[in-house]
């Protein structure tokens, strides 16, 4: 009886571990962009050049194309100037994808990540 109970507990433990390993973790997008095929859109993030942190993007190249990346400025009401990194994308075909923006700086030990944003893109 004790062996049967031990076997049952081992099976339950393995089944629980398998159920808990269901693939990639769910990530809630920071924003959602709805657009059509052949359309262009911008994704803009602020940054401080003195900190060494810059935004880097990753995307599905079969659905999106980077048309341009640029540095822009904006001025607040109190006349402070802020730097912006602008990524211009063009949609290539219908589908749903994500853009991952990583705010990181390079170090000798590898990239140091301060923040990561996920943007959902729905192309109709």
Q: Report how far Cα 80 is from the mean position of its chain's Cα atoms.
A: 29
CATH of 27-123, one of 2.60.40.2020, 1.10.150.130, 3.10.20.600, 2.60.40.10: 2.60.40.2020
Q: What are the residue ranges spanned by the domains of the chain? A: 27-123
Span of 11-15, 26-30, 32-36, 115-119 with lowest mean pLDDT:
11-15
d(CA 13, CA 7): 10
Cβ pair 32, 96 in contact under 8 A: no
Bridge partners for 2 per DSSP: none
Phi-psi region of 10 (alpha: psi -120 to 50; beta: other; left: phi over 0): alpha
Give the confidence band of 77 by pLDDT, cuts at 50, 70, 90: confident
For residue 119, give the nearest of 39, 25, 34 by alpha carbon.
Answer: 34
Q: pTM score, two decimals?
A: 0.74
Q: Which residue has the tokens 């853009």?
A: 99
């Amino acid at each position: 009886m004790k062996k049967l109970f031990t076997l049952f507990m081992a099976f339950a433990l393995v089944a629980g571990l398998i159920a808990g390993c269901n693939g990639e973790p769910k990530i809630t997008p920071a924003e959602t962009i709805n657009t059509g095929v052949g359309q262009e859109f911008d994704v803009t993030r602020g940054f401080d050049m003195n900190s060494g942190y810059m935004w880097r993007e990753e995307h599905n190249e079969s659905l999106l194309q980077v048309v341009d990346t640029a540095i822009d400025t904006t001025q607040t009401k109190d006349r402070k100037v802020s730097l912006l990194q602008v990524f211009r994308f063009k949609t290539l075909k219908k589908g749903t994808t994500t853009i991952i923006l990583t705010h990181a700086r390079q170090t000798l030990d590898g990239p140091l990540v301060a923040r990561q944003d996920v943007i959902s893109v729905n192309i109709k």
